[in-house]
Amino acid sequence: MSPPPHGRTRRVDLVRLREKLPATVEDVLRQYERHLMLERDLSPHTVRAYVGDAVALLGHVAGNIPENAELRSIDLTNLRSWLAAQHTAGASRTTLARRAAASRTFTAWAHRAGHMASDPGPRLAAPRPHRTLPSVLREDQARDAMRAVSSGASQGDPVALRDQAVVELLYATGIRVAELCGLDLDDVDYSLRVIRVLGKGGRERSAPFGVPAERAVRRWVDEGRNALVAPDSPPALFLGARGGRLNQRAVRTLVHEVVAVVPDAPDIGPHGLRHSAATHLLEGGADLRTVQELLGHATLATTQLYTHVTVERLKAIHDRTHPRS
């Protein structure tokens, strides 16, 4: 029997660790969880990640938290010790940077809420993560992927029609997989060829799409969707085989399978299609601010990663083709 995935093992460990925390600390965690969900309107996945890191931090310093002291004994030394333990356990620079950020978010909230006398978070330094360039499809590979997913839809099978619309829309708009799965029927404006997207932090934006995606989505809605509708189906644009809203795992599996048939293509999922869309927009002449708005990035720094992708691709082409490279 194969061992459980690392992520699942960590979740189980965190559940057990949380059960051992003092009742007063558990109450603070519940307040923090509500704050992340209701006030910051973060996704369930992000909430779990933030709360999990808070549990790990509190579990590390549990010996310094008496039942009647709540969190007031946590200081900068505790935060540094927790990160050092993560480093010793083999956490990457990227993971350390993320967990440091999560701990700063928690201590800032705990201080504002009156659970901590001071906030040691701003003084916590963490290693800068290595920014690895994302794998992207070349434009010809993207065309091959779209061609591959359309071949199944040519027979009119409802699931194949849905899959084609999913892949076409992901690549056309560069939206996140969670944003795609959250789309409802009335989020699509066919006359303007835009979709209304609810992004991170509850920020709403419009994402345009082209004629191929419009055709695929229209055909799915007109010819395929009714075959999957159940009595309790939501008004979701994309439905699963049992009539519920299409889930993110199914979309990830679909994209991996579609890209796998493209010769020499990197193994990417929905986020890889997002990276590819952004890269191809910039290579086609789109400016960085426009791409930032299309992708729903909160800061331009996130979007700037794609300029590095395009530069690296240009360098690779130059090295292959220039006689004096």
Residue 176 a catalytic site member: yes
Q: Are 306 and 291 in contact (CB under 8 A)?
A: yes
Residue 274 a catalytic site member: yes
Residue 171 a catalytic site member: no
**Is 144 strand, coil or helix?**
helix
> Choosing from 11, 72, 138, 271, which is the catalytic residue?
271
> Choosing from 87, 138, 200, 313, which is the catalytic residue?
200
Residue 271 a catalytic site member: yes
Q: Are 135 and 268 in contact (CB under 8 A)?
A: yes
Residues in the chain: 325
CA–CA gap between residue 246 and residue 296 (Å, rounded): 22
CA neighbor of 237 nearest in space, from 217, 211, 255? 217
Residue 306 a catalytic site member: yes
The b-or-e profile of 306-323 (16+ CB within 10 A means b, else e) is beebbeeeeeeeeeeeee
Position 1: which residue type? M
Q: Which residues contact 104 (CB under 8 A, 6 or more apart)?
A: 121, 122, 124
Q: Are 193 and 135 in contact (CB under 8 A)?
A: no
CA–CA gap between residue 319 and residue 311 (Å, rounded): 12
Residue 280 a catalytic site member: no
> Choosing from 115, 274, 275, 280, which is the catalytic residue?
274
Q: Which residues contact 107 (CB under 8 A, 6 or more apart)?
A: 74, 79, 116, 119, 120, 121
Q: For 235-286, give the DSSP string.
A: SBSSB-TTSSBPPHHHHHHHHHHHHHTSTT-----HHHHHHHHHHHHHHTT-
CA neighbor of 169 nearest in space, from 225, 216, 222? 216
* H or E element, residue 323: none
Task: Identify the residue whose tokens are 């991996």.
Answer: 256
Q: In terms of DSSP bridges, do strands 188-189 and 194-198 run parallel, antiparallel, or are they unpaired?
A: antiparallel
> Choosing from 176, 225, 275, 280, which is the catalytic residue?
176
Active-site amino acid positions: 176, 200, 271, 274, 297, 306
